Structure 1
Amino acid sequence: MTKKGILLINLGSPRSTAVKDVKEYLDEFLMDEKVIDYRWIFRALLVQGIILKTRPAKSAEAYKTVWTEEGSPLIVITKKVQQKLQNLVDIPVEIGMRYAEPSIEMGISNLVEKGVKQIVLFPLYPHYAMSTTETVIEKAEEIRKQKFPDVRINYVQPFYNRDFYIDCLAESIREKLPENFDALLFSYHGVPERHIYKTDPTKTCNMNDCCYKDHHPSHAFCYRHQCFSTTEQVIRKLGLSKDKVIVSFQSRLGKDKWIEPYTDHTLETIPGKGIKKIAVVCPAFVSDCLETLEEISVEGQAQFLDAGGKDFNYIPCLNDDDRWIEVIRTLCEEQLEQFYFL
């Protein structure tokens, strides 16, 4: 039988908190046309001519606040997930990052060196977006065709609405919810509104009520809908009323319009509406990273408290929770079985 393997893909991280390493990472990340989708010349002018002049130093300071003795939290957590999954399956498991090291190419190469010819590649993103799932698949296919033409890859699809994932996420949140809170805030990573339209092959999305319609043709590609769907299903599992739940989107870049409402604006305004005690969860991320540990837990908390909030509770990502590892195994096994039908 053809040997099979699993490759887990996460976003990536600078190799250190040194400004030069952060600059190198941001250059690769922001110059991806799936992240900043301008024509190359305009993207280069923005990223290399403006952003990389000042942002690396600021980002390096932010990374220092979350860096551990073992290194980048995202890399450390992904390695723990790899090891736990490896303990559950009898085929090789490797990791790769869309940006920086270990690269996707390195991950595939490590599997090929172990005799693997069929790979289940798992982009560790619950929701579909051109700047996450789409760019991972596109990069992996480019590498496969150029370097590993004899390798076959099956991709784990977005799992934002799978029951066993929702159960896992809901239970993780339930265990960490404070006894008294005015609202549970779901803060998802934001994307520019134009990305929603670009990723919709059906051209039926109107960025309005279609997110809430049943079986709308754009849903399989609509990040906005998928975030709302995850929220709705989780709060149903938790038995929460909708008036105790808020959805917002964080991490916007530049002056373009991103999907709303924005997390920073939300945190600054809700205390004035009587919401003084909140819990915050970030389901777009499966691993804690700069965007959760610093942007939300540090900056977001300060914004909320400065605006009159009294109690801020950040609920960690799934990280290496054993229930999450079981979800990963189940999703990978589904794709492993598909090799038998090809």
Structure 2
Amino acid sequence: MPKGVLLVNLGSPDSPTAKDVKPYLDEFLMDERVIDVNPVLRNIIVRGIILNTRPKRSAEAYSKIWWEEGSPLIIISERFMEKVSQQTSLPIALGMRYGSMTIKNALQELKDKGVDEVLLVPLYPHYAMSSYETVVVKAMEVQQEYFPSMQLTTLPAFYSNPDYIKILSNSIAEGLKGFDYDHILFSYHGIPERHIKKSDPTRFHCQLNGACCKANSVAHHTCYRHQCYDTTELVIAQLGLPSDKVSTSFQSRLGSDPWLQPFTDHEFERLGKEGIERLAVITPAFVSDCLETLEEIAMEGKEQFVEAGGKDYIHVPCLNDRDDWASLMAQWINTWSTNQTLPEYNIQ
């Protein structure tokens, strides 16, 4: 059975203009796993309120980070795919969950090459309804509707895979080289607290109090909060970082419902006011730099920290198209191709 690989990342508007940002935001925010409320209410919130003001502001933010070649996330993802392709004999296609580079087009590309068994790779280290899960669900919907003879196998969340942690840690060590930090902040993308409880298969384990994350449970397989804190702890251990100089926070909240805390922007202010002068920020929820890392963290974050009293600030780049990261992905693909096994992570 001919095999192939589908890499899927978040996506991007086609240009940093309100005209192109609006339909992109519409598709993204109308996703029931992103804003998980009654469809009528979601339509009012998104199309009646958000899309009347946000496209212009988002377009301005995109214009700050846009490359001459196009969207940074798209370009980085394409470069990553090319490097992976050079290390495997399997055909690889790239799709995006939102935007014009659709999952359907990517699967058609593989189908045209004779592929009927696909390894689906959501390019998210952690499991969350609004990232990993929505990619898997969308791919399955498209496969069942348009490619019923195709088989999909999904790469599991790899946030604590030992090989991945080594590469992430190496990347962070290189980013920190020569920077005498006072503190390191691991900033992960935020999600509403209700998503944690909705993703809990036990329906009672996740209490969002910290203690539940330390008790071994099947719920950790789908608990974004646990997985983020676990990633931070694994990197601390791998690099021998002083734990009293490292903390974790969550960024990019939307609306007034409770979201995971502490909030990254509040941490910028707190750390600056408490006398932290040299701050390094890591964004491990993303494997590719994008609007949330390049503008929200690298630009706005620096301004917030300096205004609060900080002096020196760096954002350590995501893995992007690092050679070791591409080689690890190719290794996972080749292992799946030959013996059907997939990388494992260690649930604690």
TM range (shorter): over 0.9
Q: Deviations over 1:170-219 (max 9, x none)?
A: 00000110431101110000000000000111112111134442422210
Q: Residue 234 in 1 paired to residue 235 in 2?
A: yes
Matched, 1:213 2:214: yes
Give the count of matched residue pairs: 340
Partner of 1:85: 84
- How far apart are the structure 1 equivalents of 2:335 and 2:197? 30
In the alignment, does 2:274 pair up with 1:273? yes
The equivalent residue for 1:189 is: 189
Are 1:8 and 2:16 counterparts?
A: no
1:136 matched residue in structure 2: 135
Are 2:303 and 1:320 equivalent residues in the alignment?
no
**Does the 8 Å contact 2:193/2:260 carry over to 1?**
yes
Aligned positions of 1:289-300 closer than 5 A: 289-300=290-301
**CA, structure 1 residues 24+4, in 2 after alignment: closer, same or farther (shift >3 Å)?**
same
AA matched with 1:26: L
* CA drift at 1:18: 1.7
- How big is the shift at 1:163? 0.3
Partner of residue 126, structure 1: 125
| Residue pair 1:210, 1:216 contacting (<8 A) in 2 also | no
Gaps of 5+ in 2: 343-348
1:288 aligned partner: 289
Structure 1 stretch displaced more, 289-298 or 327-336: 327-336
Distance in 2 between the 1:160 and 1:87 partners?
24
Q: Could you tell me how far apart the structure 2 residues matched to 1:211 and 1:326 are? A: 35
Correspondence 1:75-114 to 2 at 5 A: 75-114=74-113
Runs of 5+ in structure 1 lacking a partner?
Answer: none
Q: Which residue of 1 aligns with 2:346?
A: none
Give me the TM-score of the superposition, normalised by structure 1.
0.97
Deviation sequence 1:253-272 (CA, Å, 0-9, x none): 11111000000000011112
RMSD of aligned Cα (Å): 1.3
> In the alignment, is the contact (CA less than 8 A) between 1:211 and 1:224 conserved in 2?
no
CA distance in 1, matches of 2:183, 2:161: 25
2:35 alignment partner in structure 1: 36
Residues in 2 aligned to 1:209 and 1:338: alpha-carbon distance in whole angstroms: 38
Q: Which position in structure 2 is the counterpart of 1:255?
A: 256
Task: Work out the CA distance in 1 between the residues paired with 2:10 and 2:190.
Answer: 15
